[in-house]
Amino acid sequence: MHIDINRIATLAKLQLTDDEKAMLERQLPAILDYVSKLQEVDTSKIDAKAYLTTAVNVFRKDVPTSTIDERNAVIAAFPASNGGALEVPGIFVD
């Protein structure tokens, strides 16, 4: 199976070195080949949505519970902040 490593890396927003790309080009097909074993299983009669969970939605009131100290700790952990807001590189730039 051929995998376009550059395309997947772009989708994943992941910078890879040439060595890493070469390694993944070799390893990912081997892993995908292994997991493709699943095609042997007949799932034509399986309603996957019927399983998986009996969980129901859980709701709560939207009441703030954080303290100002917690807020400040979160801001302090930002790589860059400006006046208590998260600062990021420009989004609408060429």
Partner 1 sequence: MIRDAVNAGKTSAEAVVSDALRRIDEKDGEIGAFLEVFREDAILAAREVDARVKGGEILPLAGVPIGVKDNMLVTGHIASAGSKMLAEYRATYTSTVVTRLQAAGAIIIGRTNMDEFAFGSSTESSAFQITKNPHDTTKVPGGTSGGSAAAVAAGMIPAALGSDTGGSIRQPASLCGVVGMKPTYGRVSRYGLIADGSSLDQIGPMATTVEDIAIILAVIEGRDAHDATSMSLDEPTVTNLSSPSMKGIRVGVPKEYFIDGMDTEVATRIKEAIETLRQGGAEIVDMSLPLAPYALPTFYIIQPAEASSNLARFDGMRYGTRAAGTLEESYRASRGEGLGPESKRRIMLGTFILSAGYYDAFYKKAVAVRAAMKMEFDAALKKVDVIVGPVSPVVAWGIGEKMDDPVAMYLADVFTVSANILGIPGISVPCGTAHGLPVGLQILANSFDDNKVLQVAAAFEALRQN
Tell whether residue 34 is a contact of partner 1 (CB under 8 A). yes
Distance in Å, CB of 47 to partner 1, minimum: 7
Sign of the CA dihedral running 41, 46, 52, 57: positive
Binder of partner 1 out of 2, 18, 51, 84 (CB under 8 A): 51
Going through 1-94 in order, the beta strands assigned E by DSSP cover 81-82, 85-86
Spatial contact of 87 and 81, defined as CB atoms under 8 Å apart: yes
Site for partner 1, rule CB under 8 A: 3, 5, 8-9, 11-17, 20, 23-24, 27-28, 30-32, 34-41, 43, 46-48, 50-52, 55, 58, 60, 70, 73-74, 77-80, 86, 88-91, 93
